[in-house]
Structure 1
Amino acid sequence: MPYPAQAQTPSPTPRIPTNTSSARPSRFSKEAIIARPGFNRWMVPPAALAVHLCIGQAYAFSVFNEPLTRILGVTQSAPGDWQLTTLGWVFSLAIFFLGISAAFAGKWLEKVGPRRTMFTAACCFGGGFVVSALGIWLHQIWLLYLGYGVLGGIGLGLGYVSPVSTLIRWFPDRRGMATGMAIMGFGGGAMIGAPLSVALMNHFKSATSAGVAETFLVMGVIYFISMSIGALAIRIPAPGWSPPGYVPPARPSKMVTHANVHIDQALKTPQFYLLWLILFLNITAGIGVLGQAAVMIQETFKGTITAAAAAGFVGLLSIGNMTGRFLWSSASDYFGRKLTYAIFFAFGAALYMAVPAVGASGNVALFVACYFLILTMYGGGFSTIPAYLADMFGTAYVGGIHGRLLTAWAAAGIAGPALVNYIREYKLALGVPRSEVYVDTLHIMAGLLVVGFACNLLMRPVHARHHLREAAGAV
């Protein structure tokens, strides 16, 4: 049942601190990025994409895995070269620190605004590539962990959450579409990152180098510049702004509230933890595949898939991930978030159960199609979750609540790749053919999605006792 009329309060606009000094505000201050009257809100999504298309390179990291196993041997692995299981922790650390930094940066983002947060992300992500390049040159795995894993992961987290709450406030009439625009670039980053990485490695490789260190250095500079441009272009709406002609619904629907829940109070609700599990299970089932996509398709179809074709597969998955983030989140504006997630979990589980048989049949096209569909729903889960949060907890603190929920991503970033990598090693040690080492893993992933389906069924509106009163609604 909808909440009683007296429980409804307008969504407060976060208070923007007024600059009381006569000095001109810093270019990176929150006051400096308030949009002037007449500003076109459609200028904001490209600024978000400039950041998310860069940090989305994380989904293309698997193209580095094989070259990084032959840094010393150059053409083939030599004694002392890194093992694939050792390298798998680079991606896992990056996702872990993405979630941790997003959780801690939520309140800071609301305080300083998206521009300062996005520029800090550019420094961390670009700098992480530079530190990693040094680690590869010196063949020190801890520098690779520190650079791409820790520093780069912090850049991922800060860059990921920066534009989300901003776009939700620019597009109150289309929350799902807004979050899809903000996040689809992250899903599409591999579409650029995978072929760019391969092209740069081919350009820099020689008789004494695999070209990986040089590639990391160049990509770090490119990504820093692009993300900085996005940071300088971002704007936030003025207090009280709304789209021309937009009238908020007089009464919210059962699963959408106009009340607001404080960041800290959200942690006291069962809805937060159900959504945490929903996100964790959806990510765990997909992120392990993304982290090992290039290796997985080559081993499933041994001898028929080249390194270039595997990179193309990663790029295609990136397209599915990217388009799913926009299309599914936009569709959720009409279907509702709960039904949309029910589709993700039910259809995704069925596809994961079908993939081993498809791989065994040797049908590459159908294998790719199954994973493409899986990745559209995987990406859709990411872009729909901020709108789900806004529906449950209101828009006033959605950026901070979203950041804390992304600890689910941090946990899944460890669980998903570890599940794929270590079961693979265990199966290989038992003598299982490489084309069959992923069968049990895929069945486990299907089971995780079934559990996620049950968690989503339990979602109910947040009880009114958790809502802020109107007088306490300003931030």
Structure 2
Amino acid sequence: MANVSLLDRSRTIAGPGYNRWLVPPAALAIHLAIGQAYAFSVFKKPLGALLSGDVDHPAAGDWTPAQIGWIFSIAIVLLGLSAAIFGKWLERVGPRKAMLASALCFGGGFLIGSLGVHLHSLALLYFGYGFVGGIGLGIGYISPVSTLIKWFPDRKGVATGMAIMGFGGGAMIGSPLAVALMAHFKDSAPQGVAPTFIVMGIIYFLFMQFGVWTIRVPADDWAPAGYVPNAEHSALITSGNVSADNAIKTPQFWLLWVVLLTNVTAGIGVLETASPLIQETFSDKAMGAGRGVTVAAAAGFVGLLSLFNLLGRFFWSSASDKLGRKVTYAIYFGLGILLYALVPTLGQNLQLSLFVVVACVIISMYGGGFATIPAYLSDLFGKYQVGAIHGRLLTAWSTAGVLGPLIVNYLHESRKAEGFTGAAAYQTVFYTMAGLLVVGLLANLAVTAVNAKYNEKGPVTAEAGGH
């Protein structure tokens, strides 16, 4: 039982004098790994040509883009559901056990998925990367959050931004790694996908062990030197603690659920269409022969968006420590409405440079929305079960992960069917997303302090977090 005891929460409590800045790298190790999910698109064409061997001319039995697209959707749905289901368990057992469970599921999802690829079983691939891997995503996503908030009550935005920044940047590691491995294994397996899944599953499992074994939690009575809890930024910041079960009974929880849903749905609208959007809007036909955006340039644009997704998570969440969470979200939505509404005009006027700048700002706020929400929750509900509350709120992300692509594809295809091309074909997409942000803005404006009747009575401890 000695090995089991190493995973107990009591074995991760930091001693006196522990340097809290050692905790963010542990959190980052988990998020950089599971952030690979954002790079899943590199597998789309290879997975669609396992039988034919030709990505441009699939065989009759090859999987279609729509079938392959469901793998990512299942993973994101399970991310939200598992975060909601296992949030209270995580608070009780502590981050080490939760991080190990995440590593086993995420790495194991690749291994099961590899068998699915080898046997050409789509169901097994859905189960492996989508279902099992998705559970790993959910537990891994929330596992460091409440720990960081407890270590950094004075800099909640900075702390959560550092970790969640890793999820946004995971694609910058996962994409080239997958491409290099598939090229290496191409001669030994169809498209090199199955062995690539095996190697990546092992690499990510081992990489996540750094986070598992270096994570520490503070003692219940610990506070940073000289820290005095205060509400200087906002009357929203509570001195009480609300349990996860009580949090979902409050209007504030559901207002923030709408806030996250609208911000993520709109952001996915850009991410989902980034490459075809810029190629179709600024084509040779529109710009003049030889002056249009090439496939390679479009890939560069997608990479740039990934970078701003990453940077926005740290920049905006850090800024929220100074501005307050409600003001920061008001910026996301107020500025976002203007920029989304501006995109079709920039496209029609062929303003390529401005178009790229606006898209980068939009995506920075999309990333910032993910990183700022845990601090917003902690302000409103206290730090007691903030990881579990965050987990339940992530069901909004699951919903957006399905809703966003559906809205974008439906509106875009409808416009194309009406004969519109280029920027005009995406016009209703961006106006609709701007409308969604209006809903998010109104929900954010309606957020008020949580009624004290929802607070836990008497002292609470982290050990009691899941009971």
Q: TM-score, normalised by structure 2?
A: 0.90
CA RMSD in angstroms comes to 2.4
Alignment of 1:13-32 (within 5 A): 26-32=5-11
Alpha-carbon distance in structure 1 between the residues aligned to 2:233 and 2:340: 36
Corresponding letter in the other structure for 1:177:
V
Worse-superposed segment, 234-243 or 97-106? 234-243
Corresponding residue for residue 408 of structure 1: 396
Deviation at 1:407, TM superposition (A): 0.9
For 1:365-376, what aligned pairs fall within 5 Å after superposition? 365-376=353-364
What secondary structure does 2:15 align onto? coil
The partner residue of 2:57 within 77, 87, 90 is 77
Deviations 1:234-291 (A, max 9, x none): 1111221111222223888411111111211111110010001101111111124334
1:377-433 alpha-carbon deviations (Å, 9 max, x no partner): 011111111111111111111111111111111111111122223444444555544
**Where do 5+ consecutive residues of structure 2 fail to align?**
285-291
State the alpha-carbon separation in 1 of the partners of residues 71 and 3 from structure 2: 42
In structure 2, C-alpha distance between the alignment counterparts of 1:250 and 1:360, rounded to whole Å: 47
Q: Deviation at 1:472?
A: 6.1
- CA displacement at 1:442 relative to structure 2: 2.0
User: Which piece of structure 1 moves more, 360-369 or 130-139?
Assistant: 360-369
Cα gap change, 1:430 to 1:64, in 2 (>3 Å): farther
Aligned to 1:330: 318
SS of corresponding position for 2:190: coil
Maintained 8 Å contact 2:269/2:429:
no
Q: Using a 3 Å threshold, how does the CA distance of structure 1 residues 463 and 330 change in structure 2: closer, same or farther?
A: same
Task: Describe the superposition over 1:177-201 as per-residue Cα deviations: whole angstroms up to 9, x where unpaired.
Answer: 1111121111111122222223333
Residue 96 of structure 1 and its aligned partner are, at CA, apart by: 0.5
Aligned residues: 454
Cα distance per residue 1:112-142 (max 9 Å; x no partner): 1101111111111111122222222333222
Q: Report the CA distance shift for 1:201/1:392 in structure 2 as closer, same or farther (over 3 A).
A: same
One-letter code aligned to 1:69: G
Q: What one-letter code is carried by the residue in structure 2 that aligns with 1:417?
A: P
Instruction: Name the SS for the 1:438 alignment partner.
Output: helix
In structure 1, distance between residues paired with 2:228 and 2:349: 55
Quick one: distance in 2 between partners of 1:434 and 1:68? 28
Equivalent position of 2:379 in the other structure: 391
Post-superposition shift, 1:440?
1.9
Deviations 1:355-395 (A, max 9, x none): 23333444544333222111110111111111111111111
Does 1:245 find its partner at 2:226? Answer: yes
Select 1:55's aligned residue among 1, 26, 34. 34
Per mean C-alpha deviation after superposition, the further-off stretch among 139-148 and 220-229 is 139-148
Change (3 A) 1:39 1:258: same
2:130 partner amino acid: G
In 2: Cα distance, 1:372 partner to 1:32 partner: 43
Which amino acid letter does the alignment assign opposite residue 405 of structure 2? P
Which deviates more from structure 2 when the two are superposed, residues 51-60 or residues 160-169?
Answer: 51-60
Of residues 412, 436, 440 in structure 2, which corresponds to 1:452?
440
Match of 1:126 in 2: 107
After TM superposition, give the deviation of residue 209 of structure 1 in Å.
Answer: 3.1
Q: Deviations over 1:277-307 (max 9, x none)?
A: 1011111111243345444444444575555
Alpha-carbon distance change, 250 to 144 in structure 1, aligned in 2, over 3 angstroms: closer
Q: Displacement of 1:51 after TM fit?
A: 0.7
- Over the matched positions of the two proteins, sequence identity in percent amounts to 57
Say if 1:310 and 1:73 are closer, same or farther in 2 by CA, change over 3 A: farther
Q: Does 1:226 align with 2:207?
A: yes
Q: Tell me the distance in 1 between the aligned counterparts of 2:128 and 2:44.
A: 16
Q: Distance in 1 between matches of 2:427 and 2:162?
A: 35
Query: Equivalent residue of 2:107, what SS?
Result: helix
Q: 2:338 aligns with which of 350, 355, 362?
A: 350
CA distance in 1, matches of 2:15, 2:364: 37
Q: Hey, what does 1:14 align to over in structure 2?
A: none
d(CA) in 2 for partners of 1:465, 1:82: 54
Aligned residue for 1:347, secondary structure, equals helix
Maintained 8 Å contact 2:412/2:428: no
Matched, 1:281 2:269: no
Do structure 1's residue 162 and structure 2's residue 150 form an aligned pair? no
Instruction: Mark the runs of 5 or more structure 1 residues left unpaired by the alignment.
Output: 1-20
1:469 is paired with a residue whose SS is coil
Give the match for residue 15 of structure 1. Answer: none
Q: Which moved more, 1:395-404 or 1:290-299?
A: 290-299
Summarize the alignment of residues 252-263 of structure 1 with structure 2, pairs less than 5 Å apart.
253-263=234-244
* Alignment CA distance shift 1:220-1:368 (3 Å): farther
Contact 1:98 1:410 in 2 (8 A): yes
CA distance in 1, matches of 2:3, 2:73: 43
Letter in 1 for 2:46: P
Three-state SS of the structure 1 residue aligned to 2:336 is helix
Do 1:189 and 1:318's aligned partners in 2 also have CA atoms closer than 8 Å?
no
